[in-house]
Amino acid sequence: MTAFSDAFRTEVSRVARKEIKAELEVLRKAAAAQRAEIVALKQEIKKLASDLKTARRDMVRVGTNEKAASQAAEEAAPKANRFKFNAQMLVAKRKKLGISQQAMAVLLEASTLSVSRWESGKVMPRAAQLERLQAILKMGKREAMARLRA
């Protein structure tokens, strides 16, 4: 009886390894593609930083001062990067609107958990979410209630 059980165990583990191997191959390919994408993004960031440094240096050579160069760099930056997220500001706006975190999540097209984490300061919102947050912070109570009803 032990010979049969040993053979059965061996066969089951062989079949399991065979199935797992196929599934792992897909994950390996995905991980390799993501690593390649990360490398490309890092190279792009490095190139952009170099270009910015060169542009600042050129502006200083032309006769403008460093302050003008930094202002030009800020103007060239996307609007989402200029907006500084403040967790207390989000909490204050939600309370001013008189809505729950769940309702705020609906307005922001995000999960309630995300809103909770943003308000606690544990997590910073991403760029796309920052744009929505900025719009909500400018919104009045009537408009917010109208959006929630829709």
Note the pLDDT tens digit of each residue in 102-137.
999 998 889 999 999 999 988 888 888 888 888 888
Q: What is the pLDDT of residue 59?
A: 80
Taking 50 as the pLDDT cut, the residues of the chain under it are 79-80
Q: What is the pLDDT of residue 74?
A: 59
Q: What is the pLDDT of residue 83?
A: 72
Residue 97's alpha-carbon distances to 88, 89, 91, 145, in angstroms, are 14, 12, 10, 8
Longest dimension (CA), the chain: 92
Q: What is the pLDDT of residue 22?
A: 84
Q: What is the pLDDT of residue 111?
A: 92
Q: What is the pLDDT of residue 80?
A: 42
Q: What is the pLDDT of residue 13?
A: 92
Q: What is the pLDDT of residue 40?
A: 92
DSSP state for residue 84 in the 8-state scheme = P
> Distance (Å, rounded) from C-alpha 142 to C-alpha 149?
11
Candidates 97, 99, 106; CA nearest to 132 is 106
